[in-house]
Amino acid sequence: MACSKFILGNLPELTSNIIQYLWDDIPTLLSCILVNRLWCNTTIPLLWKDPFSMKHPKNFHFIEIYLQKLNEKDKTQLNNMELIIIY
């Protein structure tokens, strides 16, 4: 029991340190969120730290997808604010 308590006690801190080392490797971080809840909770903040960084320009598609899913009322309100929605 003492051994398992020792391992579990340090596991979150060690896992966090390892995942922090991978902060710029998006494909690996995406794989990490599928391992277990601890890895997911540690990895998600890194993925959302800078979601629209220029290093990963394909992340900008998120905005296009979001705008496509808006209902007509919301699209009209955005157009009234002179925001142009192109999709």
Question: Which tens digits make up the pLDDT trace of 31-50?
Answer: 988 988 888 888 998 888 87
Q: Which stretches in the chain have pLDDT values below 70?
A: 1-10, 51-61, 83-87
Query: CA-CA distances (angstroms) from residue 45 to 58, 65, 66, 71, 82?
Result: 19, 22, 20, 29, 33
Boundaries of every domain in the chain: 1-49, 52-87
